[in-house]
């Protein structure tokens, strides 16, 4: 039996649907539901317009406001922070399937060069005991200094200890103030019912792989592995071999008309039947949006060649420091460089590039102006200002 073939336009729509971008970002807000649908939301400290995690959530429902995520973390305790491919917020109910990630990160840091100056167990216990006595503390509550020559990875001993125990699941994020993380004992943050639930490691792998593929709609084994970055490539391949009844092979058409082999869940045909066309709404997406994050998948499906350039020297940048992709329907139609100047209450448009081969009639410009107005309202500034 030949593998099911998924045409490029349908593949795009399915990927956008699984990631919450196929429908108009309006209606009542179910913030935790959005995070569960995505699986996690990446955190990032850079605030050009709005920090990445806030922008990602707002892109899916424009009733979202920045303080809402802080409330889920600090008060509701319905999400927790840990490391997927990067620092992220994750639904707290996923905690039993995340214990292997605490172990994996600890084992990796035990071998990491930049953790070679980690304080020993006794010194780490002193820090934990202080947190246990005084409550949540940030790195600013400690004053140890770097000794010896400073290197790129150098961190004060207390910072190494706090991060190590956070990665290992001994500490957890209590809350953030101005994006500064406050560490508390994991036992005080994670609910006992979830903390004490011991899921066998193989069941954790099964859940992580299945949940990743469910949230992608279809993918390559490498994409399943990279989704959470909590399983190894070998574990993914073994999972695919052992779960044949729940997975099927598919062929996916690329933006260039080529066909590549991939996998999908067994219910893929039902999902395709119920799939509806993506909204024609135009959206300015964050560079760290989950639809953008995997650059290879982005290029393969949409023909959109994109890279993050904030860490590239200015002289070597093709576009700019922080450039936002523009999505309309199931295609990327341009890029825009904008900056929120909250002090002067302005959203500045410094550069704009229509995508090659994409016409920009007046109707599309009107959509862009409307989206800029929505972004302006989101960050609470008074006007949009274009660079001449």
Q: pLDDT, tens digit, for every residue of 68-109?
A: 999 999 999 999 999 999 999 999 999 999 999 999 999 999
Quick count: other Cβ atoms within 10 Å of Cβ 58?
A: 22
The mean pLDDT of 250-258, rounded to a whole number, is: 98
Pairing of strands 247-253, 259-265: antiparallel
pTM: 0.95
Task: Locate 323 and state its tokens.
Answer: 């450039």
- Residues 216 and 227: their CA atoms lie apart, in Å, by 9
- Residues 143 and 191: their CA atoms lie apart, in Å, by 31
285-327 tens-digit pLDDT? 999 999 999 999 999 999 999 999 998 999 999 999 999 999 9
Instruction: Report the pLDDT value the prediction gives residue 115, as an integer from 0 to 100.
Output: 87
- Residues 84 and 71: their CA atoms lie apart, in Å, by 21
- CA distance readout (Å), 119 to 156, 173, 268: 10, 20, 50
DSSP state of 95: G
3-state DSSP call for residue 304?
coil
3-state DSSP call for residue 15?
helix
Q: Is the pLDDT of residue 44 over 80?
A: yes
Region of residue 11 (phi > 0: left; psi between -120 and 50: alpha; otherwise: beta):
alpha
- Is the C-alpha dihedral spanning 6, 12, 14, 15 positive or negative? positive
Return the minimum-mean-pLDDT range out of 40-44, 46-50, 144-148, 297-301.
144-148
The mean pLDDT of 220-228, rounded to a whole number, is: 98
Query: Reading across the β-sheet that carries 324-328, which strands appear in turn?
Result: 282-284, 324-328, 331-341, 346-354, 383-386
């Amino acid at each position: 039996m030949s593998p099911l073939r998924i045409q490029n336009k349908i593949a795009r729509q399915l990927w956008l649907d699984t990631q919450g971008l196929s429908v108009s970002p309006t209606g009542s807000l179910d913030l935790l539901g959005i995070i569960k649908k995505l699986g996690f939301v990446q955190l990032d400290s850079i605030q050009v317009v709005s920090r990445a995690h806030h922008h990602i959530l707002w892109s899916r429902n424009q009733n979202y406001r920045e303080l809402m995520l802080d409330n889920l973390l600090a008060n509701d305790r319905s999400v927790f922070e840990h490391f997927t491919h990067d620092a992220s917020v994750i639904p707290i109910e996923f905690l039993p399937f995340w214990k292997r990630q605490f172990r994996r990160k600890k084992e990796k840091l035990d071998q990491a060069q930049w953790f070679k100056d980690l304080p020993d167990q006794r010194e780490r216990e002193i820090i934990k005991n202080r947190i246990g006595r005084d409550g949540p503390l940030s790195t600013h509550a400690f004053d140890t200094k770097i000794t010896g020559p400073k290197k790129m990875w150098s961190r004060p001993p207390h910072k190494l200890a706090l991060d190590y125990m956070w990665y290992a699941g001994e500490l957890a994020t209590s809350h953030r103030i101005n994006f500064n993380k406050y560490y508390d004992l994991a036992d005080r943050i994670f609910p006992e019912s979830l903390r004490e639930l011991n899921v066998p490691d193989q069941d954790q792998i099964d859940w992580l792989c299945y949940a990743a593929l469910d949230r992608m709609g279809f993918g390559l084994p490498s994409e399943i592995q990279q989704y959470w970055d909590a399983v190894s490539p070998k574990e993914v391949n073994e999972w695919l071999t052992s779960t044949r009844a729940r997975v099927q092979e598919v062929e996916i058409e690329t933006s260039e008309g080529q066909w590549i082999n991939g996998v999908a869940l067994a219910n893929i045909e039902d999902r395709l039947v119920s799939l509806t066309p993506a909204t024609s709404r135009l959206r300015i997406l964050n560079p760290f949006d989950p639809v953008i994050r995997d650059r290879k998948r982005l290029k393969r499906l949409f023909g959109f060649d994109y890279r993050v350039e904030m860490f590239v020297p200015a002289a070597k940048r093709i576009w700019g420091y922080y450039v936002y992709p523009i999505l309309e329907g199931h295609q990327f139609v341009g890029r825009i460089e904008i900056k929120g100047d909250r002090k002067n209450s302005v959203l500045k448009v410094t550069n704009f590039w229509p995508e090659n081969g994409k016409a920009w009639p007046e109707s599309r410009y009107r959509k862009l102006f409307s989206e800029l107005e929505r972004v302006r309202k989101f960050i609470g500034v008074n006007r949009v200002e274009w660079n001449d």
